[in-house]
Amino acid sequence: MSKTQTIPWTRISVEAAAIVASILLAFSIDAWWGSVQDRSEEREILGLLRAEFEANQKVLARTAGIHRLNLDAMREIISASEADISIHDESLDALFRQAAGTPHYNPATGALAATISSGRIDLVRNVELRNRLAGWNSVVSDLILDEQTRRDFVIHQVRPAFADFGIAGVYSATNGAEADFSEALRSRQILAHLRTEIANVAHLLTHFDNAEAAMQAMISDLAEELQTL
């Protein structure tokens, strides 16, 4: 004769609830730990990007400063060609050498490129900041393109014109090694090239000013975002 056993539903329910609770707790701990790791990685990313932008800002300012020196030299040469004053050849040589300079802005992009290519940029929770970082190259693209155009013009037009008069360290085979500054100052070709360059550099510097403002804003936003972590 079989005995009827009572099923301990209460105990089973308590045990089942405990199992479910432990599973949920484990998931919560995993999610929490994953979030902690993500925030730690985000902090590392933002710190690296901030350091890279700060370094690039210094390079940008230094390069813009050289362009401004080039511009000042060109303007002084134009003024010397228009004024009836005597300027020592050494001073003119320095001015022509400065005018023939071709500075090059070459920003470091390793941290930003690696962050984008690896997909780690998705760890940046600020969507607006993330989008600006992803599109940063477009901010300096016009600057780099205009600078390259200016460099090509100097190399292929300005320096050969200078060389015809033995100026700026490049000597013409037909004119010998003696620099003829007085004739250079009367050269329509040289003066026309310099006036073109003055316009080119003045326009280029507006790109530098815009890039510097955008870079400063990016550095400030990165610093502010780091403070929230």
This prediction's pTM: 0.80
pLDDT confidence bin for 177, thresholds 50/70/90: low
CA distance 83 to 26: 84
Question: Residues 178-194: pLDDT tens digits?
Answer: 778 889 999 999 999 99
Q: Judge whether 162 and 141 are in contact, CB under 8 Å.
A: no
Asked if pLDDT for residue 58 goes beyond 90, the answer is: yes
Residue 70's closest CA among 217, 197, 192? 197
Q: Judge whether 171 and 163 are in contact, CB under 8 Å.
A: yes
pLDDT confidence bin for 166, thresholds 50/70/90: confident
Question: Residues 126-163: pLDDT tens digits?
Answer: 999 999 999 999 989 989 999 999 999 999 999 999 98
What percent of the chain has a predicted confidence (pLDDT) above 70? 86
